[in-house]
Structure 1
């Protein structure tokens, strides 16, 4: 069971291994793009290409869906980036249902663990398999493996690393369950848990009052999706700008936070923050494609009174 590209990497590894996949469960097709044409999930596209039966329930508690599950008769369900399941579903298979989560549980329970690990400046993250229970991401841990977060990692690069690592752990978990070698452990009781809530318009806006390193981590933790954004004041007009890439330089200055200038040496737009300058390297203006700043400035005059807020 899964929906996004992250789940495809795990499904592909299961498909090319010796396991018998009796069916795939994914989200219903959704309207997308300007034409609002129905678009299949990444998992459905992969499954149909490999002649796997696909179920797309709108209601996981419906009798029709649960009858379909009984017909498929899986003895184990693997969940990757999917909705919360009712007990009638996760408790159905003989060997239970386990989930792959892209963090080292119990840290970063929630919808966006990859993003928040980078945003919070973590140096390490990983993947965890656990048996599903009544709560979200709280079940007993089967296995976990860690990986370093590189200084230049963004969501895209870390996503791909964790997808590969996750596929390895899922295969090892399935084999361990098959061989009755699983000894699940309760999640550690940690007093300060870091959450990974759903990303929204409100929590993806850049706060220029933060330190430069925190701002850069925030930007790369949201790039290339859903993308950090900010507001740029140009004379009497405010434009919503998306920021894909930035770097930071420590510097003492007396400039107002959010004020801007051009760095002609490295061809960036520099934003003053409390402990230096954030060098903006890749932006997207409303109605335009994302561009490297050095290309953007070839067709735009940047004025010193432009300000981010």
Structure 2
């Protein structure tokens, strides 16, 4: 039955590559890949393909890069591949004409244990909110975002020192295995669909993270701020401003530690430093110690490295 599946894969970032790779390596027929248009990246602003496009080209899989997902010409091109199943991993929101096109339908891999953390940034928000558990879910697409009927789910613990980066890596691999499990079940016609049940739950959302979202509010408790920093590290990174002898500088903060100490002489946001080894900043309760940070135009560094070039 496996050979009957003709799959179109839709995805763009690194997170989606293992899911595409695991289908190719298990000899499923991926007839085309849909990904974002090439964009300038990095300091040199060199135009480079998305990670998914790079992998697809290496495997000689046709690549489509529509600028408008509602364009009738794109729809005709999509139909020409005669796919009966579409798989979406970390891609844009699809119009109904696209997700409803294949005979079997279109399923999506989402990096949370749905119905919790629907939205664009589930990994970040789960850590920011201090969750101890999340997961991955495959579900069939429908009109409302991240609300379709569930195919399969698996849970994943969030460790106390996890960052968005470390959790991303684990969910990327776990998610690819769940995609393979889902495809195999569909190929054998051995699956059922389960409606998302949010009854009695306080649903947490995962909206897109903007630069303003990332500014640290030192009026919060230390542990809440530590979770905030973890949830945004390494990208896009929480940030604050520090007054140095060279002027006020915007600093990305990648890692902080709770000292479990307080300084009654400091208001939230005020800090003390020996200008050699430590910067301690007052929160609503405890002092937090900066571990790793970065000022604009410089590399990520330890607090000791930072203080060697910047006097507070």
Q: TM-score, normalised by structure 1?
A: 0.93
1:98 corresponds, among 107, 121, 133, to 107
Gaps of 5+ in 2: 1-9
- Hey, what's the Cα distance between the residues in 2 that align with 1:143 and 1:176? 10
1:157 aligns with 2:166: yes
User: Among residues 227, 245, 258, which one is paired with 1:248 in the alignment?
Assistant: 258
Structure 1 residue aligned with 2:3: none
Match of 2:7 in 1: none
Secondary structure, counterpart of 1:38 in structure 2: strand
Paired position in structure 2 for 1:208 = 218
Select 1:279's aligned residue among 274, 284, 289: 289
Q: Distance in 1 between matches of 2:140 and 2:244?
A: 53
Correspondence for 1:2: 11
Q: Kindly indicate whether residue 45 of structure 2 is the aligned counterpart of residue 36 of structure 1.
A: yes
Q: CA–CA distance in 2 between the matches of 1:32 and 1:47?
A: 19
* Offset from partner CA, 1:208-237 (integer Å, 9 cap, x none): 011111111111111110011112234694
Report the more deviating stretch, 243-252 or 98-107. Answer: 243-252
Measured at CA, do residues 263 and 128 of structure 1 come closer, stay the same or move farther in structure 2, by a change above 3 Å?
Answer: farther
The answer to whether structure 1 residue 108 and structure 2 residue 133 are counterparts is no
Q: Matched residues in 2 for 1:66 and 1:141: separation?
A: 26
Q: State the distance in 2 between where 1:2 and 1:268 align.
A: 42
Shift in Å at residue 50 of structure 1? 1.4
Shifted more, 204-213 versus 181-190: the winner is 181-190
Unaligned runs of 5+ in 1: 303-309
What secondary structure is seen at the aligned counterpart in 1 of 2:30? coil
**Equivalent residue number for residue 307 of structure 1:** none
How far apart are residue 189 of structure 1 and its match? 2.1
CA shift at 1:201, angstroms? 1.1
Alignment counterpart, residue 192 of structure 1, candidates 189, 202, 212: 202
Quick one: structure 1 residues 264 and 58, their matched pair in 2 at CA, closer, same or farther if it must change by over 3 Å? closer
Q: Does 1:181 align with 2:215?
A: no
Alpha-carbon shift at residue 289 of structure 1 (Å)? 1.4
User: 1:260 and 2:271 equivalent?
Assistant: yes
Inter-partner Cα distance in structure 1 for 2:218 and 2:19: 38
Q: Hey, what's the Cα distance between the residues in 1 that align with 2:23 and 2:38?
A: 23
RMSD (Å) for aligned C-alpha atoms: 1.7
Distance in 1 (alpha carbons) for counterparts of 2:267 and 2:50:
46
Q: What SS class does the counterpart of residue 238 from structure 1 fall into?
A: strand
Following superposition, the deviation at residue 300 of structure 1 comes to 3.1
